[in-house]
Structure 1
Amino acid sequence: MMLFYVFTILLLSNVAASKSIINSLPGFVGNLPFVLETGYIGVGESEAVQLFYYFIASERSPEDDPLVLWLTGGPGCSALSGLVYEIGPLSFDYAKSSGGGEPVFALNPYSWTKIANIIFVDAPAGTGFSYSTTLEGYDVSDTLSAAQTCEFLRKWLVDHPEFLTNPLYVAGDSYSGIIAPIIVQEISDGNEVGDQPTMNLKGYVLGNPVTDDEIDTNSIVPFAHLKALISDEFYESFMKNCKGEYLNPDQSNASCMEDILAIKECIGKLFTGQILEPLCKTISPKPIALKLNPRFLIADDTDILLSSPHVPRPWCRHFNYVYIYKWANDETVQDALHIRKVCLPNKEPKSIGKDAIRPWLIRTMSKSSVDYHRNLTKKPYRALIYSGDHDMSIPYIGTHEWIESLNLTIKYDWEPWFVDGQVAGYTMLYAYNELDYITYDLRFATVKGGGHTAPEYRPEQCLAMIDRWFDYYPL
């Protein structure tokens, strides 16, 4: 196995936390109309792990609005993915960015920073612009990553004491469904034993969350059946022969395996992120695969997408993701963000993209976070769990199943919620009651037409949802 050694052009014996206010960025005309801070905070032994973050102050009332720690999924997706494609104040202007020029930004009118202060963090080391000064720093488990992120947040609050009294929420989507509940548990435990500073933790928010490997995967077939992607006959035969087991079927059961082959024939050519959109070549490497080199994609697919003559073809959402490679790997951009210069012995350039991952990033991935949710139901917190209802990667059916397994009391059963007078999705409210006193509540919501993940597909509806939830209003 090839070993990678990380060197920096910094004096690593003095890599204290750093932060900078960024007033302008390449690709955006004029000064930024919001407060953007970037920086590094060291965590772990000798602070060898340096986590990079983007902090954007609320555009409404920074001193009063919630403070949100946002974790992008993957595992190993850059925080820029959530910032640019989901809930941040900037998004690419695709009409002005096409043709091979430099990517151009527009303001996102549905940014969650309209109503919240948000910290976007690249975690763990090896993700985005975060790094480690030791090889050991890249060998992380989900629990270790959660502990490091919790340490990061405590140090960030020490450095930003003006936000200590703001309501704090841990939020994220996709694979963050595994990490975030662990972080919430870490913060809660730390508050109980007197760790300083005390964090004003109010709850957590998860979108399209990876939660339990078996539940998530086994929900694909019922989802496909409800969406008319497989027939009643296929579904009934599968349930009879496979007993609902899609993740680990009995391979000696010939009837079950025939059913699974038939089902895969029906759904195998669909784009699982949003079943109504076309399936296309993936231009960003998927982190779990750990096989694709982002540099290859930058040299190949980027040039094809930005420079080739237009030919008849279906529009694909993946085409949007090429711009973040081009923008984030530009040296001028990295200078503007105050990125530290980190390089490998073979002088490979730093590469970052929507789903970019360092080739040496090693993870011990957890199979389930349901037990963490179950533990948290005994705490005085709030939870918002939402799902795009056209996401077949992590179907809402599986998410609803594990929520039901928590044995909470249903306060409000399935009902529609609205934006501009139109149904935006459906929602339920659960609570944990102790001696008729509610100590925990969980809001589950689907986002109509949303994919993986919902804010990228339905930004207006998701902003309305989170704004109401933060303010304790019904959806």
Structure 2
Amino acid sequence: MFMLSGSNMCGRGQVRPMMFSVFLLLLFSLEVIKSQFLVKTLPGLVGDLPFTLETGYVGVGEFDEVKLFYYFIESEGNPKDDPLLLWLSGGPGCSSIVGLIYEIGPFTFNSEISTVENPILEIVPDRLTKAANIIFLDQPAGSGFSYAKTPEAYIMNDTLSTIHTHDFLRKWLMDHPKFFNNPLYLGGDSYTGIVLPMLVQEIYNGIEVGEWPQINIEGYMLGNPLTDLTNDYNSRIPFAHRMALLSDEIYKSVKENCHGDYLNVDPNNVMCIHDLQLVDNSLKNVKGVHILEPACPRSDSLEVDPFIAGIRANNKTSMDILPQVQNQSCREESYVYTYAWANRRDVREALHIAEEFGDTEWVQCNETLHFHFDKDAVTSYTPNVMSSVDYHRNFTDKKCRALIYSGDHDMLVPYFSTMKWVGSLNLSVIDDWRPWLVDEQVAGYTMKYSKGEYKLTYATIKGGGHTAPEYKHKECLTMFMRWLANDTVNHEYVGLLLKKSGDEGLSFSTI
């Protein structure tokens, strides 16, 4: 006998039994194919993993022609009751290793002792996996270690990518029934601001029609989210002006001559084009993902592919194949460790990468899928949803929780463009703009909104870039813990974390 949630809302409902025969029928109808492996050790890491790591593939699509790869880390607290978090990386086309290594995962590379010959992994002491079960998913096909069996199956758009991710989640839960009743959260950043709300809507639609398994969704979190393409792009110039990167005169002129639209520019509007050239001259050497960090040329390892062939041929990196990290102040330089590590044969064997993936190069972000605002590059991914604001608006009549956050030094998706669409949801303000603290210091600012049983928290991360957890790991981890602590989580660990942050006197819900 299996216990299923019978709720048609975003939260726990009545529990009802399901006969084993019906379970088998639905199991076969979803065509769940087991392809999962426990990983005990990883190259570059000393000793056994201190938590349960599972990797695997789930086939999605009409004929399971797309194979989506995932990393699953079971909560180190109380896996039976702790939330289940599905974390998506943006791009589209960026590997979930971005989240696993650089954002919310339990690993990182020790840059002080790592070389491209021998990247050294270390465990992050304070990690979200101590209070949540987390699935890191490579999506869509062509991202990370995910692949498709046919060339046609790589042709993707927002809608199809969302359907595949929803299909993955249902099948994964079918294969892991002990997590049926765990509160589910969806999380992601950057381009997932488009597809993740679509996924939330797909889950609601499935609940309303009685789709099985009934997914026990409680809410979602989005960081530096691309949400409305036109609004987010057009907010970059006002952001630059606010941050003293543009003079009052240049800003006033470009705003008037371009009528506030810097994306869809009339080629005959000579004055607008002239002003945009002035803007470009002012901003071209400013790093868009974090305006305070040095604008470094991309490492050769990120631009060209031939060194990967050497990795495959020699089974490990070589000093002659990969460049050493030359400038520790350039964040991009450290990414070379990820490329070197993920393309090693022993790493692929440890992760149980499918033989069908073969010698395909792992890349951090697949440029054949990646979305660019201002480029007409031919890719296999077609953005077909220009704004996800209406999806958020649809959720305001649900019992649901949302956390939206922005690194306040991100010029790609400026914080106030996010605040603009949040304000357009017409929610009631229940906690006005105020600072939130970590280590008794201001870590950012926050507001809380509600409408019925829908609750939305907006937060900035002071000094954060695109995306915030990579730049402000401790602050973001504390923020996630406080927000998730409204649910059934490992409160002992959360309490210790808040104590270390100087916040033991604050309630768990304080952000």
Quick check: TM above 0.5? Answer: yes
Residues 141 and 60 of structure 1, relative CA distance in 2, 3 Å threshold: same
In 1, Cα distance between equivalents of 2:296 and 2:180: 45
Which of residues 325, 350, 354 in structure 1 aligns to 2:360? 350
Residue 219 (structure 2) aligns with:
203
Residues 119 and 314 of structure 1, relative CA distance in 2, 3 Å threshold: closer
Which of residues 237, 245, 254 in structure 2 aligns to 1:221? 237
CA contact (8 A) 1:24 1:31 kept: yes
Residue 47 (structure 1) aligns with:
64
Report sequence identity in percent: 50
TM-score scaled by length of structure 1 = 0.89
CA contact (8 A) 1:87 1:110 kept: no
In 1, Cα distance between equivalents of 2:357 and 2:220: 36
- Kindly provide the amino acid, as one letter, of the partner of residue 411 in structure 2: M
In 1, Cα distance between equivalents of 2:253 and 2:309: 45
In 1, Cα distance between equivalents of 2:198 and 2:306: 33
1:135 Cα offset (Å):
2.3
Residue 13 (structure 2) aligns with:
none
In 2, Cα distance between equivalents of 1:251 and 1:413: 43
Secondary structure at 1:94's aligned position in 2? coil
In 1, Cα distance between equivalents of 2:478 and 2:146: 32
Which of residues 465, 469, 481 in structure 2 aligns to 1:467? 481
In 2, Cα distance between equivalents of 1:228 and 1:299: 46
Which of residues 188, 191, 208 in structure 1 aligns to 2:207? 191
- Map residues 378-389 of structure 1 onto 2, 5 A cutoff: 378-389=397-408
In 1, Cα distance between equivalents of 2:226 and 2:61: 26
RMSD: 2.4
- Kindly provide the amino acid, as one letter, of the partner of residue 379 in structure 1: K
1:210 Cα offset (Å):
1.0
Residue 415 (structure 2) aligns with:
396
In 1, Cα distance between equivalents of 2:109 and 2:263: 37
In 2, Cα distance between equivalents of 1:122 and 1:46: 19
1:62 Cα offset (Å):
1.0
- Kindly provide the amino acid, as one letter, of the partner of residue 381 in structure 2: R
Residues 197 and 83 of structure 1, relative CA distance in 2, 3 Å threshold: same
- Map residues 72-87 of structure 1 onto 2, 5 A cutoff: 72-87=89-104
1:361 Cα offset (Å):
6.8
Residue 464 (structure 2) aligns with:
450
Secondary structure at 1:47's aligned position in 2? coil
1:59 aligns with 2:73: no
- Kindly provide the amino acid, as one letter, of the partner of residue 91 in structure 1: T
CA contact (8 A) 2:301 2:323 kept: no
1:16 aligns with 2:33: yes
Secondary structure at 1:246's aligned position in 2? coil
Residue 376 (structure 1) aligns with:
395
1:382 Cα offset (Å):
1.0
Residues 305 and 211 of structure 1, relative CA distance in 2, 3 Å threshold: farther
1:110 Cα offset (Å):
3.5
CA contact (8 A) 1:294 1:356 kept: no
1:474 Cα offset (Å):
2.1
Residues 421 and 304 of structure 1, relative CA distance in 2, 3 Å threshold: farther
Which of residues 334, 339, 349 in structure 2 aligns to 1:335? 349
CA contact (8 A) 2:435 2:445 kept: yes
1:293-348 Cα offsets, whole Å, 9 max, x none, are 544678799968965596xx57200011111110010011000111112257xxxx
Structure 1 unaligned segments of length 5 or more: list them: 1-13, 287-291, 433-437
In 2, Cα distance between equivalents of 1:34 and 1:46: 34
Residues 284 and 297 of structure 1, relative CA distance in 2, 3 Å threshold: farther
1:230 aligns with 2:249: no
CA contact (8 A) 2:32 2:171 kept: no
Residue 338 (structure 2) aligns with:
324
1:408 aligns with 2:430: no
Residue 7 (structure 1) aligns with:
none
Residues 181 and 284 of structure 1, relative CA distance in 2, 3 Å threshold: farther
- Kindly provide the amino acid, as one letter, of the partner of residue 72 in structure 2: F
1:415-437 Cα offsets, whole Å, 9 max, x none, are 111111000001111222xxxxx
- Kindly provide the amino acid, as one letter, of the partner of residue 36 in structure 2: K
1:251 Cα offset (Å):
3.2
- Map residues 286-297 of structure 1 onto 2, 5 A cutoff: 294-295=305-306
1:65 Cα offset (Å):
1.2
Structure 2 unaligned segments of length 5 or more: list them: 1-30, 312-316, 370-377, 487-508
- Kindly provide the amino acid, as one letter, of the partner of residue 339 in structure 1: I
1:248 Cα offset (Å):
1.5
In 2, Cα distance between equivalents of 1:284 and 1:469: 40
Residues 63 and 142 of structure 1, relative CA distance in 2, 3 Å threshold: same
1:26 Cα offset (Å):
0.3
| More deviation, 354-363/211-220 | 354-363
1:70 aligns with 2:87: yes
